[in-house]
Amino acid sequence: MYPITHMTIAVGGVWIGERLWRRLRRLAGRPSLSPEVAEQPSNARLDYRLVALGALIPDLIDKPLKLFVLPSLPDGHTYGHTLLLPAILIATGLLWARAGDARLLALGLGCLTHPLVDPVVVYPRTLFWPLFGAEFPVATGIPGWYLRLADVVLVGFAIAIWQRDWFSGIRRGLLRHGTLDRSARLTP
């Protein structure tokens, strides 16, 4: 489990995806939010704290499952590391988002990014479980030193940015409301 890497990839990927989605909707002449959702900005926007938490969900499910419940599993990359889990969270989250609450959608999108950092990305039997059978292969492939190095680099980068004065508005928005609003950096 490389939590910093998972959370960073999730927040960055979902932030880019959200910006692209809003831009495409604007180009198509459609509002990015329905009028009902626009009236509830605190719940309608993605909470990036929940995106970061969602990126950890597969490990929070599979690691304890392997250690305490089913030690016969091949490794800690099983049920939570499938695409079935984020598909269920995102589908349910989209229904809730239509009603003005995007919290479950944020968790699902964070969960969807998890396989990008884990070795299961090269195992279709795990990703697309149960389509290719009920058995899980042992996940190996991405060397651990590579991910530890990535964690060190990302932590150093995050600390350097977190302490900058120009980041203070974004930092406050993230901690208080879970937003990454670029305009927030202009506030004192």
pLDDT tens digit sequence for 129-146? 888 877 777 766 555 555
How sure is the predictor about 184, in pLDDT bands with cuts at 50, 70 and 90?
very low
Q: What percent of the chain has pLDDT over 90?
A: 13
The structure tokens listed for 130 are 């149960």
Residue 81 contacts residue 126 (beta carbons within 8 Å): yes
Q: What percent of the chain has pLDDT over 70?
A: 68
How sure is the predictor about 185, in pLDDT bands with cuts at 50, 70 and 90?
very low
C-alpha span between 97 and 172 (Å, rounded): 24
Residue 53 contacts residue 110 (beta carbons within 8 Å): yes
Q: With 80 as the cut, is the pLDDT of residue 15 above it?
A: yes
Range in 98-102, 103-107, 123-127, 174-178 with the lowest mean pLDDT: 174-178
Confidence (pLDDT) at 82 = 86
C-alpha span between 173 and 56 (Å, rounded): 22
Q: With 90 as the cut, is the pLDDT of residue 109 above it?
A: yes
**pTM tops 0.95:** no
Residue 184 contacts residue 174 (beta carbons within 8 Å): no
Confidence (pLDDT) at 89 = 93
φ/ψ of 138, rounded to 5, equals -75, 125
C-alpha span between 49 and 173 (Å, rounded): 11
Confidence (pLDDT) at 55 = 92
Radius of gyration (C-alpha) of the chain in whole angstroms: 18
Q: Quick check: bond before 3 cis, omega within 30?
A: no
Instruction: Return the number of other C-beta atoms located less than 10 Å from residue 58's C-beta.
Output: 27
Sign of CA dihedral 35, 41, 42, 47: positive
How sure is the predictor about 102, in pLDDT bands with cuts at 50, 70 and 90?
confident
Report in angstroms the alpha-carbon separations of 118 from 10, 29, 141, 171, 177: 13, 38, 9, 28, 29
Q: With 80 as the cut, is the pLDDT of residue 39 above it?
A: no
Go through the chain and tell me how many residues it has: 188
Q: With 50 as the cut, is the pLDDT of residue 187 above it?
A: no
User: Is the pLDDT higher at 128 or at 182?
Assistant: 128
Confidence (pLDDT) at 38 = 47
The beta strand positions in 19-150, using DSSP E, are none
Which residue has tokens 């492939």? 141
